[in-house]
Structure formats: C-alpha cells, structure tokens
Amino acid sequence: MSVTADDLKNGSVFLSEDERSVGIIDQTQLPNRQVYLNLTEAEEMYDAIKKLAVRGAPAIGIFAGYAMYVLALHEDAESADAFRASMQKKADYLNSSRPTAVNLSWALKRQMKVIEDHADKSVPELISLLKKEAVAIHTEDIEMCTRIAEYGLTLVKEGDGILTHCNAGPLATSKYGTSIGPVLLGKERGIDLKVFADETRPLLQGARLTSYELERAGVDVTLICDNMASLVMKNGWVQACFVGCDRVAANGDFANKIGTSGVAILAKHYGIPFYTLGPTSTIDMNCPTGEDIQIELRDPEEIKNMWYKEPMALGETKCYNPSFDVTDHSLLTAIVTDRGIVYPPFDVNLKKLFAEDQDK
C-alpha cells in the first residue's frame, strides 16, 4: 500500500500548509465542535498532550515527531552541538507531559537519534532531516495501522459484535486506527461488524470519539456505560473484545485506558476472546512486565466536575484518578501487531517478533 499526501493531511495530526506548525484536531472539543489548532511553541505542545487535545498513543508519537521538527525551525543555536543540546532539552520537556504511552518517548528518541547520527551536518541540514523523519514516523503509522486492520479482520466474521474500550480509532492514530481498524476495513469490504463502545469514564473517549468516528463511517455502533459491559457479554452480543494499548511489556502485560483490565476479566468469565491491537512502536521490550509501567494520575476534577453543570461530589471528597491500568497477559488471547498476530507464550513470541531487527 502506498501512503498519499492526503493520507498525511487527513489524520488528527498533520504538518500545517506552510510547514511551520503542527496541526491537530482538538480532541477535547469533539463531537460537538471540529476545532483545529496550529502549534509552534514547546509549552503549547506540552499542554496539548497533557490536556488530551492530542491523545492516543500513536497520535502522540506522530505529534512528537512533527513537534521536534517545528521546534527545530525556531532554534537559534549557532553550532550543531548547541543545537543538539537545546533539542535534547525540548525532547525531555515534551516527554514529561505524559508518562504511560511509550510512543511519545519512542518518537522523541527517534528524532534525537537523527541529530546524533548526523553530527557532521549543519543545522539547516539537520532540520530537513528532522522533517523527513517526522513524515516517516507518520507514514509508517498509516502502514502499520493498515496491516493491523488486515490481521484483525481475520479474527472475526460478518455480523460479529465487538466490544471496545476508550478510543483507538483514526483520531488516536492515523488512518484506520488500531482496535477500530478491522471494523473500518471490514466496512470498506462489505463485512459488517457491530460495535459496543464503552463510554470510558472519566474522559468519555468512547462516547465522544469512538461512537463519533464509527457513526460517521456508517458502522452499527451502540454506546454503553462502562458498567453495562457484563450484561452485553452475558446477552451473547459480543464475539470478541478489541482494545488499544499504550505500552506493551516484554511479557505481554499491557497498559491501556483505565477500565481495560476489568473488560478483560469479564471477557475471560464469559469465554470471549480478548485482543489488544497495536503497532510495534507501542511494544517496549525494555519494559519487562506491567509492574514496570508508570501509570499517569490525573486531576480529580475530571471525575467530580468536568462533564457536569455543577459538581457531582463535595469539594472535599477524595478521588483516585489513574488514567490507565495494566491488563495481565494471562487474560489476553493475542496481540495483533503490524507484523502479525502474537499468541502466548508472549515473552517468547514477542522476542521472536523483534529478533529480525536485532539480526540487522
């Protein structure tokens, strides 16, 4: 498959027309308003990630790739050395915005490697290499999502019900998305699947983003509250669970949106296959197990206030608001990647997936 210039412009993250800012669809405004933002400053880029204006592990990685290029344009460093030191500071700053999704640090490291590997080049040459790498990260994501969608589609059949949690569609990635990819690809091919979208408390990515994307694509989608998943499964309406991932550890444990591990436990109870779908850029072989994944804690106001006309709890009420949880690999049927479907034992088979890279 070849990626077109339109594909690069159509996602939720793109390089602006004048190529001097990173463009995003502000995901906090959906589904009611389609607002585009053009970002040039490190602080506004940090805030966009932190506030979830740009969100979803692969989309954050694509954003970070372009961000490094745009920030490089504003550098006034005179030597390549000073340029590298200043870009490292900016990469560290952006990296501190959210800790869980590995794609952020992965993309920032990739851009820093471009600078380090070309120590002999001038600053303007380095800047053009950073642009090339940012486009490569974006292009590769489109290709990876397409392959994930193809592999995922082999796991289901016409009419199946798929339960998903959070949003791992095109807004969170590039084209197709990950967990939603098989559904969108199936739709293109006349294979209709039904989706049950968990609303995904507290930030409602399932309601605001997944059901929006699927409605617009003409997919049969039913929105449910998170606590309805058990009943929907018991009713026999779900033949598979497809969820995204923010970081997959070397043993197959993976972090995804808070509530994912509960869905996995329910799926096990009802004998429903449970898959996570993600690009190889989300697999962190340097992270041995889920215990080693840092889980982001967010503002309690997101639980008490954010979506209501008035507070839904007393100001003094304590809240615990972790953004992600870790699903144990024992609950996972398979990991659907761009390089194929990985089955247990995950520690052995994930190693094999990357063995080819080590041989290079």
Q: Which helix (H) or strand (E) holds 247?
A: strand 247-249
Cα separation, 304 vs 5, in Å, equals 43
CA distances from 127 to 74, 122, 134, 158 (A): 10, 9, 11, 48
Q: Which of 58, 182, 252, 290 binds ligand MRU (CB under 6 A)?
A: 58
CB 101, min distance to ligand MRU, A? 6
Nearer to ligand MRU, 60 or 272 (CB): 60
Q: Torsion over CA of 46, 108, 181 and 215, rounded to 10 degrees?
A: 10
Q: Which of 246, 253, 325, 338 binds ligand MRU (CB under 6 A)?
A: 246
Please, are residues 97 and 52 in contact by the beta-carbon 8 Å criterion?
no
Nearer to ligand MRU, 183 or 245 (CB): 245
Give catalytic status of residue 246 as yes or no. yes
Site membership for ligand MRU, residue 290 (CB under 6 A): no
Please, are residues 245 and 255 in contact by the beta-carbon 8 Å criterion?
yes
Cα separation, 94 vs 140, in Å, equals 22
CB 316, min distance to ligand MRU, A? 27
CB 177, min distance to ligand MRU, A? 6
Nearer to ligand MRU, 88 or 321 (CB): 321
Site membership for ligand MRU, residue 244 (CB under 6 A): yes
Rounded to 5 degrees, φ, ψ at 216 are -65, -25
Tell me the two tokens of residue 74.
Answer: 């504003």
Residue from 141, 246, 253, 284 carrying the catalytic annotation = 246
Residues from 253 through 272 that contact ligand MRU (CB under 6 A) = 256-257
Stretch that binds ligand MRU, among 79-87, 152-160, 241-249, 310-318 (CB under 6 A): 241-249
Stretch that binds ligand MRU, among 56-64, 188-196, 215-223, 286-294 (CB under 6 A): 56-64
Site membership for ligand MRU, residue 144 (CB under 6 A): no
Q: Which residue is nearest to ligand MRU (CB)?
A: 244
Interface characters, 155-194, with ligand MRU (x: CB under 6 A): -----------x-x---xx---xx----------------
DSSP 101-168: -HHHHHHHHHHHHHHHHTTTS-HHHHHHHHHHHHHHHHHHHHHHHHHHHHHHHTT--TT-EEEE-S--
Among the listed residues 78, 20, 70, the one whose alpha carbon sits nearest the alpha carbon of residue 43? 70
CB 30, min distance to ligand MRU, A? 12
Coil, helix or strand at residue 327: strand
Residues from 199 through 218 that contact ligand MRU (CB under 6 A) = 205
Interface characters, 295-334, with ligand MRU (x: CB under 6 A): ----------------------------x-----------
| Amino acid (1-letter code) at residue 106 | W
Residues from 35 through 54 that contact ligand MRU (CB under 6 A) = 52
Q: Which residues contact 76 (CB under 8 A, 6 or more apart)?
A: none
Please, are residues 198 and 243 in contact by the beta-carbon 8 Å criterion?
no
How many of the chain's residues bind ligand MRU (CB under 6 A)? 19
Nearer to ligand MRU, 146 or 178 (CB): 178
Q: Which residues are at the interface with ligand MRU (CB under 6 A)?
A: 52, 55-58, 101, 166, 168, 172-173, 177-178, 205, 244-246, 256-257, 323
List, by residue number, the catalytic residues. Answer: 246
